[in-house]
Amino acid sequence: MPELKRVVITGVGALTPIGNTAQAFGRALRTGVSGAGPITRFDATKFKTRFACEIKGFEPLDFFERTEVRKYDPFTQYALVAADEAIRHAGLDFAGLNRNRIGVIWGSGVGGLGTLQEQLLEFAAGDGTPRFNPFLGTKMLVNIAAGLISIRYGLRGLNFAVVSACATSTTALIEAFNYLRWGQADVLIAGGSEAAINAVGVGSYNALRALSTRNDDPTTASRPFDETRDGFVVGEGAGALVLEEYEHARRRGATILAEVVGGGMAADAYHLTGTHPEGEGATLSMQAALDDAGLQAAQIDYLNAHATSTGLGDASELQAIGRVFGPRPQLHISATKSMTGHLLGAAGAVEAIACVQAVQDDVVPPTINTTRPGAEFAHLQLTLGRAAYRPVTYAMSNSFGFGGHTATLIVRKYAGQ
């Protein structure tokens, strides 16, 4: 078997509820900004949950022609904007590269849900005559974001979409990592995007009793590990990373931000929406990532927990952490969803960017809003309230999704060799 190649990260791009660029996102993380507020995307006055973590100040016409806006669902618009930032950040000049070996792996949990809702409501309100938008089919498709990124830049390498619910974009990053180290590509743009703040999205999560209903105080509603947590806060946005084969990055003089060293995926095989109470799938994916990287658990400095602020979900992840890292784990843990909300299929990529920034700058972002950690979390080294500046060589990111999907990614500080 050929020797596996090294894989590095050379560019990042983010469009989030707390910052519309990766740099702005990083600044907001360190200062503990909440992205939550009243829903403006639709009239939510009759919904159990009337707040979310929306993107602020995003104007599609600043990035796209009017005809493109009509063709692209918001989740695709977000994908294109984040990918463009990551590509520019990586300094990729495609004219001088082999585009046959550059590709895209992109995912979304629900794709063009808003477009589908809009079109069905218009049809139901009409006389039964089908007058659908000719782009309805393509606007809905989860794979269309990957396709449009490749079309925009003429990238002819491998190209496909990933869907594993809220583990989606971490799965996409692991897939990109694997294809690159197997030598089947030189550069891959990977990540995820989501635009599910609409009546169907919020209503369906309310029906599952998954969302916080803290309507009187939305900015503190996402409170992972807190004994008063009552559900997640839905978010929207995109995260994009440029993953590149190490020697390829070196040859073109790229600035290397971090190195991807391990990835693991597994399944709870337990319940449609609930996580295994002992964190079976999470345990397996974390251990698989450690084994893949050739690391011991004690070498991980920082864990960006999946921690969505649900009662059972946070508790099951705790069980998994204990099984992998021991009864009193020494790693530093934070839950950045306390600030961004839960970006569903885009969460993993955005949180991977937080991990890249952590190893670059030796900073652990905080968990905000958590003022009364449950007694079961008392032994964890939770970074609460404000960022902690300490050495971070290895950072791990967890993502779990409905259906029992679990995915874990590990990145390492790049030391210049």
Known catalytic residues? Answer: 166
| Tokens 């939305």 -> residue | 218
The closest alpha carbon to 57, from 43, 40, 76, 75, belongs to 40
Extended strands (E) in 81-234: 102-107, 159-162, 187-194
The closest alpha carbon to 335, from 388, 402, 383, belongs to 383
Residue 120's H or E segment, with its range, is: helix 113-125
Q: How far apart are CA 231 and CA 224, in angstroms?
A: 9
The closest alpha carbon to 359, from 382, 332, 399, belongs to 332
Phi, psi of 323 (to 5 degrees): -70, -35
Other Cβ atoms less than 10 A from the Cβ of 37: the count is 15
Neighbouring C-alpha atoms within 13 Å toward the C-beta of 192: 39
How is residue 221 written in tokens? 């509603």
Q: How far apart are CA 177 and CA 62, in angstroms?
A: 32
The closest alpha carbon to 104, from 66, 145, 64, belongs to 145
The closest alpha carbon to 368, from 227, 211, 225, belongs to 225
Beta bridge partners of 242: 11, 189
